[in-house]
Structure 1
Amino acid sequence: MKGRMAEEHSGTRRRLRRIARAGLVVAGGLVLVTAGANIAMWTLSSGHRSDVAAAPSAPVVIVPGARVATDGTPMAYLRGRLDVAIELVKAGKAEEILLSGDAGGSSGDEIASMLRYLLDHGIDPAIVRSDRAGLSTRETCERAKSMFGIDRAIIVSQYQHLPRAVALCRAAGIEADGVVAYCECRQVTEIRNNVREWLAAPKAAAEMPLRR
């Protein structure tokens, strides 16, 4: 009886070791895929990212949406993007602004919030266009090309998101350059967004028509 129990116990341990090894292999594979996708985003956007001072000129600057506060004003991430877009227009580096976001977002109407902010900061409404169905970075880029006929643009976003944004817009057929947006953000927000971008890269790579 004891021998049989010992044998069963040994068999259970072997099965658990096999499961653990399989789990490690799967986890390792996922890490490699995720790392590879992130490297691809950085590679595809290499040479096309800069700050405001070094930014090239383009007919339009694209501002992807982000969360808005309960009072309808842009939160830190979105405010930073809008501030850079304003600087680019006032510096003569962009002629128009395309706002792209979720008009029915869980935090509020991103487009209305962005437009109010731009008007409050002296931007002429005649140079602002809005895409109220830019529900993701990929959709923002693809709709900018297909719906608004944009062939050349600057896209503004924070440093974590910028490589993916530039890569997706270039894959959509836009000659896109990215400009780093500001963010007066808490450290926990920075960490959360770094993790989010790291995990978002594989999906972006899988969906990307590699045209450029």
Structure 2
Amino acid sequence: MPDEEPVAAPISAATAGGADGDAEPAAAPAPPRRRRWLRLVRRLALLAAAGVLAVLLLIKGSVIWVRSGADGHLFTEQTVPAAPVALVLGAQVYADGTPSPFLEARLDLARRLLETGKVKVLLVSGDNMHHEYDEPTAMRAWLMAHGVPERKIVRDYAGFDTYDSCARAKRVFGVTQVTVVTQSYHIARAVMLCRHIGLEAAGVGDDSVSRFKGPWRSNARREYPACVKVVYDVASGRDPVYLGQHETGVEDALREG
């Protein structure tokens, strides 16, 4: 009986190889626990990406809304229309009572507006939550040292933030028309808030301290989350931290002339 032709054995994945005959081992499937972990990581990554996108959209929308609310109401020192009151927003005061360069620039701008007849009274609004820290008194002292009569200056001790300063100008001091004075990166938010609260408001922003590049950039960046806070303040219609009774300081100063 003739010899039978040998039957070739089937080639398995374990024995299949390249031209040299070496086999490539098959990849083992991932254990179930590892697959679940990978799915969880992917889901968390997608949720994180969605959260970041939502925050960015909220910030961008808030900034656009704030700027649109101030559009057409921002001026230079020379072109701002006359108003009875300048609302000068507070900023850092050093331990010795000296205004920081940013606050000093605001005060000097307000002083010039008073001198040129653009405004008649300066309402200086700042933080005096603690006895040892008093922005409005430091602001008044600087103005008086630079030739502004005391009768032209009214202090608001409870301007703890921009919203409170604007709300108190209207609800406590009875102001109806105002020129807001602050730095230019802040002016749109301040004017928009004042106008939303019901003040006829225009704004003049100071750029002179942009020479302090680091603090200027840092403060400008803070405006983005601050615009989100504006959305909350406006939507909630909250009262200022301290409202108090009506004060006649601005009325008295305007009457005295």
Structure 1 residue 192 corresponds to structure 2 residue 221: no
| Contact residue 185 and residue 205 of structure 2 kept, 8 A | no
Deviates more, 1:135-144 or 1:99-108: 99-108
Structure 1's 210 and 17: CA in aligned 2 closer, same or farther, altered over 3 A? closer
| Contact residue 120 and residue 152 of structure 2 kept, 8 A | yes
Aligned to 2:232: 206
- Which residue of 177, 199, 203 maps to 1:174? 199
> Which has the greater radius of gyration?
2
Q: Provide TM-score, normalisation by structure 1.
A: 0.93
Aligned to 2:6: none
The higher-RCO structure (CA 8 Å, 6+ apart) is: 1
SS of the aligned residue for 2:185 comes to coil
- Which residue of 142, 155, 160 maps to 1:117? 142
Runs of 4+ in 1 over 3 A off after TM superposition: 2-5, 104-107
Aligned to 1:134: 159
Structure 1's 206 and 180: CA in aligned 2 closer, same or farther, altered over 3 A? same
Aligned to 2:110: 85
Matches within 5 A, 1:96-107: 96-104=121-129
| Contact residue 98 and residue 130 of structure 1 kept, 8 A | yes
Residue segments in structure 1 that go unaligned for 5+ positions in a row:
none
Aligned to 1:9: 34
Code of the residue aligned with 1:202 in structure 2: it is: V
Q: CA deviation at 1:193?
A: 0.7
Code of the residue aligned with 1:41 in structure 2: it is: V
| Contact residue 110 and residue 181 of structure 2 kept, 8 A | yes
- Residues paired across the two proteins, number: 210
Rounded Cα–Cα distance in structure 2 between residues aligned with 1:114 and 1:207: 26
Aligned to 2:178: 153
Over aligned residues, Cα RMSD in angstroms? 2.1
| Contact residue 67 and residue 108 of structure 1 kept, 8 A | no
Rounded Cα–Cα distance in structure 1 between residues aligned with 2:179 and 2:132: 26
Structure 1 residue 70 corresponds to structure 2 residue 80: no
Q: Provide TM-score, normalisation by structure 2.
A: 0.77
